[in-house]
Structure 1
């Protein structure tokens, strides 16, 4: 596989680490490029990367763990749970709506607005002040809704902030402590955490973007601390433990595992791309074939300086982890690998 990817040029200029397994067999596990470009320190297999929205998968697992314990259910009103009655949020918004991005609430940042909107937002609210889940609330809690709950899919980071607050409220633990105890520690994910960009943590890759022919660090464009909508730090080995453990029922019982691995809503903006049916579940993007069989599941992650993919192909029993420290560099590689799997 590595020879074919090189021949196709898919690994040219890629900065990061790739890990592919089929069953118990490793098909590819290689590192590329630099973790630190100033001192030309290479990425290695054990290098840690910010994983952006892949972290939403942790949030979804935590919510279903609490549902499994009878402390929540998918129909729980987030307004009533968090006492948000004096906001623009509808009392009809449920946990299911938030998990599937169908809540209809306005996001604190509309990803379709592009990079300029992201940069402008942090001119008004200094990005370095975003340290807790509560810090994000002021950015969206008073905005008018964009649709009624359950009406349509619209990718929404704010919804996962609310889910993080729900985890804290119901569990009595801070979000990152809950994830560490109930997911990371349970699976032996010893190199995963919720580190801040301004912390000195061993073996964490720096994030880079190419702008006007120069390499630029992401220190002014990435939120300093991870939240329940994204930004945790992990390695390819830890994320392989996570996705295999999730699919094999090590984090949830059979019923809840099936609920988390089920497609629910059409992503109308992507549907039909590459001739697939595109659906979203509980922090899972799905590609379905014309017979509605799941071809691929998993999640993507993008932020300034980092790009990540966690994919699984249930029919082939293939799991893929791609972690890069350059914005949007995992997507092209992910599709190249996808095409190889489908063609084979």
Structure 2
């Protein structure tokens, strides 16, 4: 019996080895079509996080050189995607919202320096009197992204399942805590673009769907673009799916080495003007050409719209996305992506007059890889322009051998120069560098990196919480406390931040301090009827029981 099991195991290992070798020696795709087919194939899935399903359009100097559809519109009926299949475009919606705002600015119906209280006087004064239209457009308003809901007691799930009027949505956003003083820091915020939508409706007297139709869709004859109802989205668009890889025995029963499930419902009123539109690659190509040729907005105001602000963000566009520039230091572009549950999208307009647009009914595709590889093939370029000099972070010894912090800083200084704005190491890079210094017992350096992270990066509540938990359950749990403390200092009204700090103190068996934190979490949670209030109270009771033992 043991010999039989051993033989089966050896056969499995041999099969996997042969399969891996086949993938490794598979020839590099030469054309755009070969590339996307390889992304649709399981052998290349890991490079873009999910097998590709959707549509792709590529143009050069205003002429379409490639357009094709892949995968299924509906996995239940096996209906295939077509080139005119409509997809949710997520945050690509922000380009249209920004255009509508700029049209009103050009018409002198509003000003970029207007504070939002002029149009939404019912919002709290910390927002109404200090946040400007420009700051909403450039993500410098200080408003949080969706993670800001935590402080209001509304879970992301409940938020997505609720139908809001425009004013009700603005009021929910008004209850979130600012993450920075308006105008001082960049924080990507879909809530900012939602407020722009409410303001558009307030000024025009039209719904967003009607205003979009009147000012953009009809003038450009975009027959498959708009902002639809929940029913329309359900019936007319490609169904969205999410994918995750599986391993071990699950791999044998998997599809493409992973599990694909239909994305959950999200009410259109919550996606709204930050991410609720739908379109096709053909319509988006017409749209992109109209932006470049000033059909909807004069050259003067288009240039204002496309002027980079902090982190390269223009109004609804990004100038020189560093993740793309990093792969080819010679490219310059305007672009923006979109990601809803079950959908991914991107428009990229390169300075060399290459246009790349893709829409997909799969979540979380690796946009920078797709764009980079398509651009190479559209222009017959070799893959040899990647920014070099990123130091090895697998261990402290290898990091130091590769030049250490000097090399890391030099790498990002050069990337910043190519991108045209300050680019800092990613959160995962900072986490990794801190970790290897801690493992090597270089505590002072790790502490200095932590200080730089706190002061220079301006991490949001979710990031600080993530770092805290990552360290709490690592080989350096004592390091976690500083991240949780920083979170309560920066976000003192967040019940979740106080609950996390309490959990850290429990790990350290400092139950008195844990008790104080949990009490704070409960008090703050009760004020906003937080969805996790029951959990906060249970944590509080557990600590009280420990102290009474």
TM over 0.5: yes
1:252 aligns with 2:288: no
Which residue number corresponds to residue 186 of structure 1? Answer: 219
Give runs of aligned pairs for residues 162-181 of structure 1, distance below 5 A.
Answer: 162-181=195-214
- What is the 5 A alignment of 1:61-210? 61-84=99-122, 86-89=124-127, 91-109=129-147, 121-123=155-157, 125=158, 127-199=160-232, 203-210=236-243
Going from structure 1 to structure 2, the CA distance change for 1:90 and 1:168 (only over 3 Å counts) comes to closer
Contact map agreement 1:67 1:74 (CA 8 A) in 2? yes
Deviation at 1:228, TM superposition (A): 0.8
Looking at structure 2, the residues matched to 215 and 148 of structure 1 have their Cα atoms a distance apart, in angstroms, of 41
Name the count of aligned residue pairs: 321
The 10-residue stretch of structure 1 (281-290 or 254-263) with the greater mean CA deviation from structure 2: 281-290
CA distance in 2, matches of 1:210, 1:138: 34
Report whether the alignment pairs 1:5 with 2:35: yes
Q: Cα distance 1:260–1:190, how it changes in 2: closer, same or farther (>3 A)?
A: same
Q: 1:336 aligns with which of 357, 368, 373?
A: 373
Name which structure has the greater RCO, CA cutoff 8 Å, separation 6+: 1
C-alpha distance in 2 between matches for 1:173 and 1:207: 29
Aligned-residue offset at 1:18: 0.2
**Match 1:28 to one of 57, 66, 70:** 66
Deviating beyond 6 angstroms after TM superposition, the runs of 4 or more aligned structure 1 residues are none
Q: Note if 1:317 corresponds to 2:317.
A: no
Provide the residue aligned with 1:215 in structure 2. 260
Matches of 1:294 and 1:87 in 2, distance apart? 43
Larger Rg: 2
Cα offset, 1:92, TM superposition: 2.1
Q: CA deviation at 1:143?
A: 2.4
More strand per residue: 1
Give the Cα–Cα distance (whole angstroms) in 2 for the partners of residues 59 and 200 of structure 1.
Answer: 19
- For residue 362 of structure 2, the aligned residue among 309, 318, 326 is 326
Task: Supply the distance in 1 between the matched residues of 2:137 and 2:330 (Cα, whole angstroms).
Answer: 22
Q: Where in structure 2 are there 5+ consecutive unaligned residues?
A: 1-30, 42-50, 247-257, 382-549
TM-score by length of 1: 0.85
1:97–1:103 contact (8 Å) kept in structure 2 = yes
- In 1, distance between residues paired with 2:70 and 2:99? 31
Question: CA separation of 1:50/1:132 partners in 2, compared to 1, >3 Å: closer, same or farther?
Answer: farther
CA RMSD of aligned residues (A): 2.7
- Shifted more, 250-259 versus 83-92: the winner is 83-92
Return 136-145 or 232-241, whichever deviates more.
Answer: 136-145
Report how far residue 37 of structure 1 moved: 0.4
Kindly indicate which of the two structures has a greater share of residues assigned to helix.
2
When structure 1 is superposed on structure 2, of 85-94 and 246-255 the one drifting more is: 85-94
Alignment partner of 1:298 out of 335, 340, 362:
335
Q: Which residue of structure 2 lines up, in the alignment, with residue 265 of structure 1?
A: 310
TM-score normalized with structure 2 length: 0.54
